[in-house]
Amino acid sequence: MTVAIYAPKMALKLDDDTTEIDLRDLQGSWSVEQYIRLTNQTHRLLEYSDGCIEVLPMPTTYHQAISKLLFLAFLAVVQRIGGDIFYAPLRIQVRPGKFREPDLLMVLDRGDPRAQNLFWLGADLVVEIISNDNPERDTVEKVADYAEAGIPEYWIVNPLDTTVTVLTLMGCAYVAHGVFTRGERATSHLLDGFSVSVDEVFAVT
């Protein structure tokens, strides 16, 4: 499968001289160390796959409002059971040579050794809110990535059709726990009793 990588130009300023560097010329040659150093020096969300860097679109206020609602809903439950949840930017390693930055990522045990400081080595649940620049990034590519990473539950929140899809890992592939629409409550297979109103998710401002 061919994956289109969004790679805008970057400007490198040397004293009073500005040199334009086309990031596309460097695709395929970035090291993990360079990727991590770059992400440490920018507010943009960057993802990495086998030497290639993808620059994600800047989140909108609506995107962030959805993220905040879900974060607070999950936080109330996960803290009670001794887990933890964080929001982007925070890197997670899918496998050596591949990193993603989910909108939300959770562990059921706040002492989980996978939740490292530089980047996470795994998670129990991740959430992605679809951006309209490339919906297949979240609905196809990351489905395969998070399954490869062994993440038990993946929530795909889609403002384009106002659905919340909850996937649960069975073996090495995801199956649908549910595709929830307006008027319904999205539930978790992993978190017994947890649910969130789809109407409330997409009514945020």
pLDDT tens-place string over residues 46-93: 888 888 888 888 899 999 999 999 999 999 999 999 999 999 999 999
pLDDT tens-place string over residues 96-128: 999 999 999 999 999 999 999 999 999 999 999
Q: Which domains does the chain have, with CATH numbers?
A: 10-55 (no CATH), 61-202 (3.90.1570.10)
The two tokens of residue 21 are 């560097």
The DSSP secondary-structure symbol of 120 reads B
- Percent pLDDT > 90 in the chain is 67
This prediction's pTM: 0.85
pLDDT reading at 15 higher than 60: no
Dist. CA 51–CA 35, nearest whole Å: 9
Residue pair 188/195 in contact by the 8 Å Cβ criterion: yes
The two tokens of residue 33 are 């160390």
pLDDT reading at 18 higher than 50: yes
pLDDT tens-place string over residues 32-51: 888 888 888 877 788 888 88
pLDDT tens-place string over residues 155-183: 999 999 999 999 999 999 999 999 999 99
Q: State the Cα torsion 152-93-74-168 to the nearest 10°.
A: -20
Amino acid 203: pLDDT: 96
Give the count of alpha carbons within 13 A of 40, CB side only. Answer: 9
pLDDT reading at 2 higher than 50: no
The type of residue at 77 is V
Amino acid 55: pLDDT: 84
Its sign, for the CA torsion 75, 99, 138, 114, is negative
pLDDT reading at 14 higher than 90: no
Amino acid 31: pLDDT: 82
> Please, which residues have CB within 8 angstroms of residue 165's CB and are 6 or more apart in sequence?
155, 156, 158, 176, 178, 179, 180
